[in-house]
Amino acid sequence: MDSNFWHQLWESNEIGFHQRAVNPLLAEYINTLSLAEGDRLFLPLCGKTLDIAWLLSKGYRVAGAELNKPAVEQLFSELGVEPRISTLGNLDCYSAENIDIFVGDIFELSSEILGGVDAIYDRAALVALPDQMRKKYRAHLLEITRIAPQLLLTFEYDQTVMEGPPFSISPDDIKQYYSDKYSLSLLKKIDVPGGLKGKCEASETIWLLSAI
CATH code at 3-14+36-211: 3.40.50.150
Question: Average pLDDT in the 181-208 region?
Answer: 94
Which pLDDT band, with edges at 50, 70 and 90, does 110 fall under?
A: very high
**Domain residue spans in the chain?**
3-14+36-211
Contact criterion met (CB below 8 Å) for 134 and 176 = no
Residues that constitute the known binding site for S-adenosyl-L-methionine: 10, 45, 66, 123
For residue 36, the model assigns a pLDDT of: 98
Determine the average pLDDT of the residues in 76-99: 97
Decide if pLDDT at 20 tops 70.
no
Task: Please state the residue numbers annotated as binding site.
Answer: 10, 45, 66, 123
Which string of DSSP letters, residue by residue, matches 147-200?
S--EEEEEEEE-TTTS--SSPB--HHHHHHHHTTTEEEEEEEEEEPTT-BTTTB
